[in-house]
Structure 1
């Protein structure tokens, strides 16, 4: 059963978590001010002070933080401070019954991809792939459209993403409708062969990535292809691939050629160019919500919001 969290209202409290790496505390606090200006109380706990190597605390500390936030009835939404690395380490330790019984907004992207899709597949909770406190909202030069996209937490908003926002390129023509799933490519491939393997059957598969050499993108897309993820999908949405370049290799394929080689053969509609992921602006999109992509109109229509009124 699909579960949608309630909208945020003035006076509500949100919890800030660090389930992957440890965040930049200064930018995290700056990002919190945006919510406070909207009349939202912010509870950090120890999110900004924990550090365990490249992780934002031990596995058990990060699990405990998530459990406490979901179990606390005063917390109406849970926002991640940053990504980095580490959510795949704790996914099997989480109580999905607890999450199912306490549906609330869960928001993040990048390494948080693992949890976004796990919460949806295992608990039915619609989650949000969107900008985070220290990574985006707390930046000095945060884009106004990045902040505007946070409004999806405050109202049941439906929208259409068109070329008025960014140029979109068609790789395979067609129209497709399905629930939107996916996120960061590295995290999607890391779940293959596990109980958290991404289910793309009849879905619109969203993919973004950052700082990966093109040959590594090639390798990961090939893995998704061999696992049948493009054949299963209703359509594919290619978002931002920031700094995914040739690196030190003088001989390389282009990023678009890699997309063509691995995704085009499935024959499903493919649009690229969405400003979703490690980019500015960074548009939020609900994981689990129904959408329709149309390459002839070059658009993505979000047919249902990620929250209930």
Structure 2
């Protein structure tokens, strides 16, 4: 996910933020992690009250209304976070204010889940202000994707909480997106045995690719590649040991994808994995004029070059990421990847 656009268009605001936040004290411990017990959140049902929050980029009133309409169409009752419409540069309010909305929703006994309005950028900035002890005592589902990957990572690493990489409030809630959300987030349905597939679109970037055939089972961790790479070596990074990593990306030049995967290789993360399930890499094409590089690999060539030598099952083309027809992926739940067949099967229920 290309963040330079944010920085180039908001340089003045960014400078102001650096001054405003330079002496702030961390509100909660960064060292304490969960004790190994995975927390499966209660599921949703018709009439569930769901906290609508903006933990990353700012949103307009129109976008909040769109998010509310999408949740109401699912039979849910959206409840706005206190700071949902605030703006601080390209952020939806200050770091403490956005974290306050997250903490408040977990503390509110009348709220059954949290739904993020959009991604953008900003979740990682507020992680030090999330009360993970509160989260662990009041486990609730949270859903979003793109920059929300930082929250998915932190909730699992610090509290052991299962969360979901799926549509944000302003996403397109088409038939596949809705059916996947209902299957995984609503308690009336059982997620065990649910199969996630590829081939959800007709554009070239949807074309499946078997990097390494074979089967592998493990806990699902992952999300947006650039976001998860940015958390490498932080207290908010979950254990990669024996996991199945799911990744997706948007608007990144192939050399930048190469750089990110190489960082994960050098950090020893990819060598720990059982398998890799890649979603759609949307608009990830070379821009030689912008990069200053002559010649390029395609993103498919980069994925093959950086992943094939690992010798573990790896597949590109699952229907999740920055796409319209979107599967929801449960973060922290066990699943089986069949890279030869292009399937990802959920092995346990995702809510209770």
TM-score (norm. length: structure 2): 0.82
Q: Does 1:246 align with 2:286?
A: yes
d(CA) in 2 for partners of 1:298 and 1:178? 16
Cα separation, partners in 2 of 1:173 and 1:37, compared to 1, 3 Å: closer
**What is the match of residue 33 of structure 2?**
none
d(CA) in 2 for partners of 1:52 and 1:147? 32
Which structure's CA Rg is the greater one? 2
**What is the match of residue 161 of structure 2?**
125
**What is the match of residue 275 of structure 1?**
319
1:203 to 225, 243, 249: 243
Contact 1:181 1:205 in 2 (8 A): yes
Contact 2:318 2:342 in 1 (8 A): no
- 1:229-288 CA distances to partner (integer Å, 9 max, x unpaired)? 211000001111111110235511111111122111111110110111101111101001
**What is the match of residue 153 of structure 1?**
185
Cα separation, partners in 2 of 1:214 and 1:164, compared to 1, 3 Å: closer
Contact 2:249 2:281 in 1 (8 A): yes
Secondary structure class of the residue paired with 1:133: coil
Question: 1:118 Cα shift?
Answer: 1.0
Residue range with higher mean Cα deviation, 297-306 or 268-277: 297-306
1:68 to 96, 104, 115: 104
Residue range with higher mean Cα deviation, 27-36 or 203-212: 27-36
d(CA) in 1 for partners of 2:324 and 2:83? 25
Question: 1:296 Cα shift?
Answer: 2.8
Secondary structure class of the residue paired with 2:324: coil
Secondary structure class of the residue paired with 2:270: helix
Q: Does 1:215 align with 2:264?
A: no
1:292 to 336, 340, 345: 336
Question: 1:184 Cα shift?
Answer: 0.6
d(CA) in 2 for partners of 1:189 and 1:226? 12
Cα separation, partners in 2 of 1:163 and 1:70, compared to 1, 3 Å: closer
d(CA) in 2 for partners of 1:24 and 1:185? 27
1:192 to 232, 237, 240: 232
2:123 to 68, 71, 87: 87
d(CA) in 2 for partners of 1:295 and 1:127? 24
**What is the match of residue 264 of structure 1?**
308
